[in-house]
Chains A and B, each alone.
Chain A
Amino acid sequence: MDVTAQLAARPAGVRLVVVLGWSACAVSVLLLALGVTLTVLDHRSVVDNQVALGCVVGFGNAVLGGFVLTRHPGNPIGFLFAFGGLSRAVSLAAGAWSTRALETEPGSLPGGSLASWLQAWTFLPGIAVLPMFVVLFPDGRLPGRRWRVVPALSGVALVLLAVIVPIGLWRYRGEPLLPDSPIPAETQAHVVVAAMVVGIVVAVVGIVLGLAALAGRARRSAGEVRQQVKWFAYGAGCGLVLNFAGDLTGVVWISLLGATAVLTGIGLGIFRYRLYDIDRLINRTAVYGAVSVALVAGFAALDVTLAAIVGRDSVAIAAVSAFVVALLLRPGRDRAQHLVDRIFDRRSHDAVSIMRALGQRVGQEPVGPDAVRAALRRSLRDPSLCLYLYLREADVLVDGDGRRVGDLPVAAGQVVDPVTQDGQNIALLVHAPTEPALLRAVVRAGAVVLEHARLQAELLVQLAEVRASRARLAAAGDIERRRIERDLHDGAQQRLVGLALHLQSAKRRSSYPAEFTDLLTFATEQLHAGVEDIRALVHGILPPALAASGLAAALAELARPGEVAVSCGIPARLEPGVEATAWFVACEGVANAVKHASGHLVRVDVSVATDRLLVEVSDDGPGGADADGDGLRNLADRVEAHGGSLRVESPRGAGTRLHAELPCAS
């Protein structure tokens, strides 16, 4: 059986922005690939020509744009990522295209002059939106109204760099705008240079202001958000400085380092502090990407090797290769997942490990609902987490001890997440808000233990029901006994005593013949015996003193000097069922002792220890009582029906000790 527990699915559908985001990403990646290919074909260095920088920035932005838009379709940061990526990719591809079309292989490609124009300005809009990116990071909202100036600066830069500059450059398209060509000053209109300089200055001012806003955010935020912002601020700050240094010195490596710093800052935010909640998405992509590549490579290698060994190519060889590769799929995937988890996602990995470790303990040792809750608390680092479980048949919610839960206790700041399995709710988690992806991973890893906990809770509930019904049966029996006792006492016994009294009275008048007097005497004696019989019978059923005056009074009646010693330190009254049960233990114990250990002193000790009533009947007789005999077994059943326990110690030759413990609220 494949147990797949998961969090209840959120309402989902593929949204337009997601399609757009990934389309932009795909276009960017294709353009980057085109640019790199053309650069390599031209035997030019990918580093010196800023191709590597473009690739790092373009690819990083484009992919992040796709991921962020998938998780947070409403967050402008996703668009900005996608926009920045596209801007870089178009510029890079256009640069490589125009260089090949106009310089290295003239005439080999069409549209060289258009490409040269594009490459000259398309990277600029990416720079123009940077202030916006910095100020909106990470939630896509301005940290305050006064920061509206930053998007405004972005807008100004965008107009200058993406409208004025392209228009001004249009008439210079062609060789003067090629990336590596020296630009004679007179070929550039002053207005274009001015627009470009002003635009970049405005953007830089915007970025600096944005960084100030970011610093404010870092100060105000707490926990993971603070970490996310902090790492991004470090990265962006370093990136800004390094980029300028690179541009000033003309050393591309330094600029590359700057871009890497920015991306590293964002990457740390994403993977260590689950920024945008896309770590699992990337994680999965990495795992399946790696596994796919490995499998294809493995298949190819195996196919070729086998073909070489066998000496010919055949369908059989392909089939064997496919089979071997298929065998490796599952373990390969697991290993890759493990590796990726460990590298990228320490926290999630640790959380999942805790649940898996607990799963391995199931079957080896008792793993109750409490243990599962403790593991969930540790793995989600949420000491306030509570676990409630559904009983499948009754659709009733219970806690870890099997108690029914009416109103779900949810503290302020807590959220409720149902856990489903095969479409059925099996549990509810009440916990502090956490990353949905982490929660899903933990729940998935804990599927078996959660189901195990649910079954245990179900068992507890059933056990409690059986216990309650047993106690009810015992109580009903006690009530019936009381009724019989009263009927015998108030009816039969009184009548017999009354009759005997009349006969005695008649006899005292004594003017009867001798044989008649004898008959009266005989009848009186028989009535006497009848009364005694009823007394003994009633006592065995339930002594009236028990109902009237409580256990201590009833036990006192068992005492007989020299034979039965009773010591009793208990409150006057206890719950009737407990009194009756304790009475039967004492009574049966004494009766047995008198029968099997006659001549020895029987001690009855009854006491209360916190919430337990202890009843002990002991003698120093011959011992050897059979604890599984009918009498003692019935007694044990009675005691257990009241949630207690009965122990019989009767080693041969060393007396008998009957020890009962009953729960009692005193």
Chain B
Amino acid sequence: MRVVVADDAVLLREGLVRILTEDGYDVVMAVGTGPDLVHAVRAHSPELVIADVRMPPTHTDDGIVAARQIRRDLPQTAIVLLSQYVEATAAMDLFQDSPAGLGYLLKDRVLQIDDFLDAVRRVVAGGTAMDPAIVAQLLGRSAGKQDPLTVLTERERAVLALMAEGRSNTGIATRLHVGVRTVETYINAVFTKLALHADTDEHRRVKAVLTYLNASNPHDDHPRQ
């Protein structure tokens, strides 16, 4: 499996290359800027891209800009974005477009190497990986308003969060130490309570959940005046 890694911090980049190589990936190129990443992807057509969000030249959202370009050039490329901080807004439209083959993880997450590699594998397999901290933020964001999420039980909220992270029913069942059937019951309850269309397809389900959560994003809330 061919991989391109993009990060401007050399030590971190080399670390990523190292653990990916050890895990059997073929890192064909490691670059340090957004435009270089786009070029490398065009040159090598990798199956997977792992990219820092904040890189030269602008040090803002260059990784996301590059990811958007890559999605247009080679839509089948799996992309895992690494962010230094909990800040989902910038990447949210990418996910709403299609969460398939897309991951968004906090950089610190790579230190839990097994979790990180697990997430990468999910994304490579066409799934989604959303960092739990970001999901928590999405959930917390709407907590101040007349919040439809308050109708959920604690367990249902946990299931919703894991769905948003992009986990499969089995993954959720493992996490919560319950049976898969129980998870399905919870999922049905969540979808009914939030008036969402229940879907067995996991990609579409993630998308629905993320869209739902992001709808209560303050950015879409234009001030009333």
Contact = CB atoms under 8 A, between A and B. Distances in A.
A302 interface: no
Nearest to B11: A498
B84 A493 contact: yes
Contacts of A498: 9-15
B140 A504 contact: no
Contacts of A545: 85-87, 89
B111 A569 contact: no
Interface string A504-538: 11001100000000000000100110011001000
A278 B201 CA distance: 100
A495 B11 contact: yes
Which residue, of A501, A508, A552, A605, has the highest number of chain B Cβ atoms within 10 A?
A501
A566 to B, nearest CB: 5
A609 B223 CA distance: 9
Interface string A469-510: 000000000000000001001100111011111101100110
Contacts of B219: 552-553, 572
Nearest to B111: A500
Contacts of A556: 89, 137, 140-141, 217-218
A608 B108 contact: no
B174 interface: no
B71 interface: no
Contacts of A560: 136, 140
A184 to B, nearest CB: 104
Given A486-B59, A524-B111, A528-B111, A567 B19 contact: no
B11 A561 contact: no
Nearest to A493: B84
Contact of B15 (A502, A553, A570): A502
B225 A549 contact: no
A263 B90 CA distance: 90
A49 interface: no
Interface residues on A, range: 35 or more
Contact of B108 (A497, A499, A565, A571): A497
B18 A553 contact: no
Nearest to B86: A557
B182 interface: no
Interface string B62-92: 0000000000000000000000111101100
Contacts of A610: 225
Contact of B143 (A495, A543, A559, A570): A559
Given A495-B11, A527-B111, 19 more contacts: A497-B9, A498-B14, A500-B111, A501-B12, A501-B15, A505-B22, A509-B22, A524-B111, A535-B108, A545-B87, A548-B87, A549-B89, A557-B87, A559-B141, A561-B140, A561-B157, A562-B143, A570-B223, A571-B223
Interface of B: 8-16, 18-19, 22, 54, 59-61, 84-87, 89-90, 107-108, 110-111, 113, 136-137, 139-141, 143-145, 157, 217-219, 221-225
Q: Which 4 A-B pairs have the closest CB atoms?
A: A498-B11, A501-B15, A494-B9, A567-B144
